[in-house]
Amino acid sequence: MAELKVGFIGTGVMGAPMARNVLRAGFPVTVHNRTRSRAEPLLNEGASWAASPAELAAGCNIVVTCVSDTPDVRAVVLGPSGVIEGASRGATVIDMSTVSPTATREIAERLEAAGVDMLDAPVSGGQKGAIEGALSIMVGGKPEVLARCRPVLDAMGKTIVHCGGHGQGQMVKLCNQIAIAGNLLAAAEALTFARKAGLDLATVIEAVGAGAAGSWALNVLGPRMAARDFAPGFMVKLQLKDLRLVMQEASELGVPLAGAAIAQQLFTAIQAEGAGDEGTQAIVRAVEKLAGL
């Protein structure tokens, strides 16, 4: 197998620690970000810089994208000076953003016509999982391409699951976002109920979190809700983007998602207050406002 040379486009809250773990695993890493200053810590640790996605792709056989939304993936992969202009035949693009499954299939077709493979590999686990290299990675694409790229994914995730063909990794990630939205809403409602009843929130989290009602949302984000710590591990505006994708696919499938729809409205209320950059645990403020707290 040829040496795996990894390019990383997007060095934000998630992308930077993911790229750092790939670098620490011993792979040569080249990075590109719209704002170079956000990549400087990685450059100081040994990563190389590319001035454009095309330049990055020309020197790498695996290109990882971790950006905010579907138009961003289209732009860095297929746009002017995009990955497709620099990638060699036989290279692989791994999109680890959460984006439209339909768009993912279209991008994969364009890349395949140019001799470039693609995996959609969105992640779950938040910033903490990215830092610890313990993400859950949901992969769509050809199994033989996954096998070739697995050493790189192993540096970023603890659980790597092949979900099917192109776009299926994204579809499984939307399932994840449906579940996390419901869990966040449930945790926020439980803690709002507890606060209004005069209970000690730390005690409630300890007792409830250890039983059948325990969840990542309650056990990890519940203490942040209680402490009024809304610093982002995953931003409200990105959760809203994911729920928009969920609702688009649900409409196509004819699946009612009442819980996700309620969560979407509460996140919309938080964003309308100018708090879209806060962490998703801020949903508790919307629930508290409804409860008169």
Q: Which residues are catalytic?
A: 173
Contact 56, 7 (CB under 8 A): yes
For the purposes of burial, counting CB atoms within 10 Å of the CB of 105, is it exposed (0-12), middle (13-18) or buried (19 or more)?
middle
* Rounded distance between C-alpha atoms, residue 93 and residue 91, angstroms: 7
Contact 248, 213 (CB under 8 A): no
In the numeric block, which tokens belong to residue 90? 């036989």
Helices assigned H by DSSP within 14-69: 15-24, 40-44, 53-58
3-class state of residue 59 by DSSP: coil
Indicate the angle between helix axes 168-196 and 236-253, nearest 10 degrees: 120
Supply angle C-alpha 35, 37, 40, rounded to 5: 125
* Rounded distance between C-alpha atoms, residue 229 and residue 161, angstroms: 32
* Rounded distance between C-alpha atoms, residue 97 and residue 71, angstroms: 11
3-class state of residue 151 by DSSP: helix
* Rounded distance between C-alpha atoms, residue 148 and residue 212, angstroms: 39
